[in-house]
Structure formats: C-alpha cells, structure tokens
Structure 1
Amino acid sequence: MRDILAKRLKQCRKEKRLTQNEVAIYCDITEKAYQNYELMTREPKLEILRKIADIFDVSIDYLVGRTDKKQVNK
C-alpha cells in the first residue's frame, strides 16, 4: 500500500499541475511533510489524506490502492 500511495500522490499532483508546496499549503502542512508522503518516509494522517483526495478530486480508496477507479460513483 505504501508504494502505491507514494506513486499515486505524485501522479495525481503532476496531473493537476501542482507543486508540492501548493498541495502542502492547501493541506495546512509543511512542504517537507508533503515531500515525506511522496517519498513514503511518513504516512499522512486520515485528515490530511482526506484533504489530499479533495484537492486531487479522487477517492481515498484510489490513493491507497484499494481501487483503480479515481472517483467513487456519485
């Protein structure tokens, strides 16, 4: 799961054309903290993961590899 999360965080960020700092600002964390998530030296707390999913417009399940569908059916 950790490898998938790191890969998908980076992929989604690049698709949205956001910098690590822009994502960090949105999530109210430091840029270094977000970098650690992409490097998987740290795992985000659920509250932060929810914010990241919101900014990337994907589900948390997608980010953590439980599904390959970016969005849940609404």
Structure 2
Amino acid sequence: MSYKNIRSIREDNDITQQQMAELLSISQNTYSQYETGKIEWPVSTLIKIADYFDVSVDYLLDRTKNKRRNE
C-alpha cells in the first residue's frame, strides 16, 4: 500500500527522498520502496516522519485529513 500523504508532505516541504533517507538512517532505495508501497513502513519510521513534520501518524496513513496531532 502506498501512502500518498507521506510523499505529498515530503514534496510540499521540498525534501528529496535522499534527504528523508538520511534523516531516517536508511538507504534512498529503501525509502523509495516504502514510499511506493513495495515494502511496509515500520511503525517506528512512521513515528519519526510524523514527529519531523509535526503531523499525526493517522494523517500519514491517510486515515484522516486532519494533519494535527492529538496532544
């Protein structure tokens, strides 16, 4: 499954796949496979991305249109 909100938020912030991969300490190839849905995102990686962009994991997973995290 591909999570369009992850790609969208990355592109909206002018961040490359390579930059995201470095932030997550993974290869660009692995990041690309996550983003295209070839391999599943680990929960810990989704949390890191949500924290970095200050959005909810539910938003990244396209379970809500609300970007805000519940605090």
Fold match by TM threshold 0.5: yes
Equivalent residue for 1:37?
34
Determine which structure has the larger helix proportion and give its number: 1
**Aligned-pair Cα RMSD in Å:** 1.3
TM-score (ref. length: structure 1): 0.85
Distance in 2 (alpha carbons) for counterparts of 1:63 and 1:69: 10
TM-score (ref. length: structure 2): 0.88
Equivalent residue for 1:21?
18
- Partner deviation per Cα, 1:7-56 (whole Å, 9 max, x = no partner): 11110101111010111111111111110111110111111111111222
Count of matched residue positions in the alignment of Structure 1 and Structure 2: 71
Distance in 1 (alpha carbons) for counterparts of 2:33 and 2:69: 27
Is the contact between residue 23 and residue 55 of structure 1 (CA under 8 Å) also seen in structure 2?
no
Is the contact between residue 54 and residue 69 of structure 2 (CA under 8 Å) also seen in structure 1?
no
